[in-house]
């Protein structure tokens, strides 16, 4: 090889060496063999050919060739290290492709509401109990001071299974059952299903969830009642939600109350959801009627208490903007999947 061609070849090798920095693993192997291969490597050939040159040329070209070899070896080593790092990233795999998800399930939104309500009341000493859906007239009506020959009974159009035997029209029978079984202090929340002869439509179900609450002890007052409900509302909704108590009539409480909360949609300025009142009715409540204590064998002079009942379906619909209550009883995966915890 002439000096001239050796110099040219050295420049060509340097040019090829520049590719090392961007070569992938396969190309790197090819480049290594092509340039540094023991038998046919181009730089190896140049170094072998040095012996044929005169000393001055050997010194100059030899220095250049050896420098190039060191550079090339370093570049290949660096590239190899770099390639090893990028494995699992862009080079071998496109990390932007979707990861592998798992199926996730969800509690029904109504169950989620029930659990949340019960958990909030637990903070102020309430425990969680349940009762039977098949009830007697005694527990569903009589013990709760609801006389069947009074128009107040008409509010609850009831399914009957037999003489005196019915599907509970509210969860309130558990008030009586609990008072008969346990001495005060009683603080319970009672979720469960209730049945009424309502035709199925966008806002009514013949079977619906209800959540009952009862507190009985010595010295409980209307102030305690208001505070407990306010405690719940401010935690379930937001801390600044206004709560309004209005007189209302339920035979098993007195004073009776309807509890409204500030509309969560318009924050009280009035919208279609709250029928422009700025408030939404969320529960019926009040102080336990002394007749109920008497019917359950408790001393109505000694004990006082409060009770409340609310509809978790309605609350779930408000919370999630569900327009039709029938969506809650249709096991549609597209609907249920929306309530996966995120």
Partner 1 sequence: MNISLSWLSAMLGRPLDAADVAHRLAMLGAPAESIEPLHQDLGDVMVGLVERVEKHPNADRLTLCSVNTGREVLDVVCGARNVQAGHQYPFAPVGAVLPGGVKLDARSIRGVASQGMLCSARELGLGTDHEGILELHTDAAPGTPLLQALPLADTRLRLDVGANRPDLLGHRGVARELGAVYGLPVKLPAVPGAAPEGLAPRRVERQGGAGGIDVAIEDTAGCPRYIAAVIRGVRVGPSPAWLEARLRAVGARPINNVVDATNYILYELNQPLHAFDLARLRGGTIVIRPARPGERITTLDGEVRELTADMTMICDAEGPQAVGGVMGGRDSEVSAGTTDLVLECAYFDPKRIRKTRKALRLITEASYRFERGTDMQAMSDVVRRAVSLIRTVAGGDEREAPVDVYPVPQRPRAVFLRPERVEHLLGMAVARDEIERHLAGVGFTSAPKNGRLHVQVPGWRPDVTREVDLIEEVARLKGYDAFPVELRPFRPSGVPDDPIELLGARLRRLLTGYGLHEARTLPLTSAGDDPTVVRILNPISQDHTALRSSLLPALVRGVEHNWSIRQRDVRLFEIGHVFQRPRGASQPEETLHLAAVLSGARDVPHWSNGFRPPDYDVWDVKAMFAEAARLGGPAGDVVTADDGWILRDPSGGERGRAGALSADRPAWAGPVYGFELELEARERPAVRYAALGVTPPVERDISLMLPEGVIAEQVEAVLQEAGTALLERAVAFDEYRGPGVDGRSVAWRLVFRAPDRTLKDHEVDEVVGRILARLKVALGVVRREA
Does residue 182 bind partner 1 (CB under 8 A)?
A: yes
Going by their DSSP bridges, the two strands 186-195 and 303-310 should be labelled as unpaired
Kindly state the smallest distance separating residue 87's Cβ from partner 1, in Å.
17
**What is the H or E stretch that residue 78 is in?**
helix 55-86
Kindly state the smallest distance separating residue 91's Cβ from partner 1, in Å.
18
Q: How far is 73 from 62, CA to CA, in rounded Å?
A: 16
Does residue 201 bind partner 1 (CB under 8 A)?
A: no
Half-sphere exposure of 83 (CA within 13 A, CB side): 17
Selected from 51, 81, 103, 202, the binder of partner 1 by CB under 8 A is 103
Does residue 126 bind partner 1 (CB under 8 A)?
A: yes
Does residue 248 bind partner 1 (CB under 8 A)?
A: yes
Find the binding residues for partner 1 in span 249-278 (CB under 8 A). Answer: 249, 251, 254-258
Find the binding residues for partner 1 in span 80-99 (CB under 8 A). Answer: 97-98
Kindly state the smallest distance separating residue 203's Cβ from partner 1, in Å.
15
Q: How far is 186 from 218, CA to CA, in rounded Å?
A: 10
Does residue 150 bind partner 1 (CB under 8 A)?
A: yes
Does residue 100 bind partner 1 (CB under 8 A)?
A: yes
Does residue 232 bind partner 1 (CB under 8 A)?
A: no
Question: Are 41 and 33 within 8 A, CB to CB?
Answer: yes
Does residue 4 bind partner 1 (CB under 8 A)?
A: no
Q: How far is 325 from 303, CA to CA, in rounded Å?
A: 39
Selected from 13, 228, 274, 317, the binder of partner 1 by CB under 8 A is 228
**What is the H or E stretch that residue 181 is in?**
helix 173-181
Q: How far is 20 from 72, CA to CA, in rounded Å?
A: 8
């Amino acid at each position: 090889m002439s000096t001239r061609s050796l110099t040219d070849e050295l420049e060509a090798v340097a040019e090829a060496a520049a590719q090392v920095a961007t070569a992938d693993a396969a190309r790197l192997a090819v480049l290594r063999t092509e340039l540094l291969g023991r038998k046919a490597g181009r730089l190896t050939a140049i170094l072998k050919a040095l012996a044929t040159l005169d000393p001055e040329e050997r010194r100059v070209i030899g220095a250049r060739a050896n420098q190039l070899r060191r550079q090339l070896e370093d570049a290949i080593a660096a590239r190899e290290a770099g390639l090893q790092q990028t494995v699992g990233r862009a080079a071998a795999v496109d990390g932007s492709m979707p990861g592998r998800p798992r199926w996730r399930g969800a509690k029904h939104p109504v169950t989620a509401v029930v659990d949340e309500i019960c958990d909030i009341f637990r903070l102020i000493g309430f425990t969680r109990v349940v009762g039977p859906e098949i009830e007697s007239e005694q527990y569903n009506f009589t013990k709760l001071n609801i006389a069947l020959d009074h128009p107040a009974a008409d509010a609850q159009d009831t399914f009957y299974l037999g003489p005196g035997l019915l599907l509970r029209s509210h969860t309130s029978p558990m008030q009586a059952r609990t008072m008969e079984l346990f001495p005060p202090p009683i603080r319970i929340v009672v979720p469960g299903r209730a049945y009424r002869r309502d035709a199925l439509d966008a806002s009514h179900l013949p079977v619906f969830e209800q959540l009952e609450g009862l507190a009985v002890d010595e010295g409980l007052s209307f102030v305690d009642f208001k505070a407990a409900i306010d405690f719940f509302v401010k935690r379930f909704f937001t801390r600044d939600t206004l709560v309004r108590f209005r007189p209302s009539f339920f035979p098993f409480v007195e004073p009776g109350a309807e509890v409204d909360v500030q509309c969560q949609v318009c924050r009280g300025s009035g919208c279609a959801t709250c029928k422009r009142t700025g408030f939404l009715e969320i529960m019926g409540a009040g102080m336990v009627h002394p007749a109920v204590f008497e019917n359950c064998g408790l001393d109505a002079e000694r004990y006082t208490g409060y009770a409340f009942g609310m509809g978790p379906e309605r609350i779930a619909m408000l919370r999630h903007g569900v327009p039709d209550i029938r969506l809650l009883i249709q096991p549609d995966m597209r609907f249920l999947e929306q309530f996966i915890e995120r």
